[in-house]
Amino acid sequence: MPLEVSPCPSPPERFPDPVFDPRPETAGERRVALAGGCFWCVEAVYRQLDGVLEVVNGYAGGAAAQADCYGDEQERAVAEAYIRQLEAAKVFGAPIATELTKLDRFYPAEAYHQDYAANHPDQPYVRLVAAPKVAKLRKHFAEKLKAAVR
């Protein structure tokens, strides 16, 4: 029996532009750690976006001292404001379950997990789960893609 993956219940056009999104106080690169279930899918999507310089799949938490990804209070305020905005717009049929927490530790995943979707496009999970997410990104947000993937 084939695996069926349900699409996001809300079409992208229902997502409002952020009302609160100030420019960072200092110039330069920023880091963000996103937990999204399967890092192959998160990587496959974010690698396509203009402005994303690097994506590293990995694990959070634990006891080793390799932590190197922390956000600032302004970034947290922007994320909290947008979550409230999405809730108020009733974009989803249920409350948003996203949790904003300080990342204490980050560990890069094994080498074979890096660039996995790009290196294994015919792997069944990539074809059934990651590829449709990339296709949706390209369809609905083409203006946000790197020039090389437009």
Alpha carbons 113 and 103: distance in angstroms, whole number: 21
Supply 129's token pair. Answer: 């789960």
Q: Is 81 helix (H, G, I), strand (E, B) or coil?
A: helix
Alpha carbons 48 and 137: distance in angstroms, whole number: 9
Helix and strand numbers, DSSP H then E, in the chain = 5, 2
Would you call 38 a catalytic residue per the annotation?
yes
Alpha carbons 43 and 3: distance in angstroms, whole number: 21
Q: Which of 8, 38, 41, 69 is catalytic?
A: 38
Please list, in sequence order, all residues whose beta carbon lies within 8 angstroms of the beta carbon of residue 128, skipping any fewer than 6 positions away: 3, 5
Look up residue 143 and give its DSSP letter. G
Residue at token pair 């699409």:
7
What residues are annotated to the active site?
38
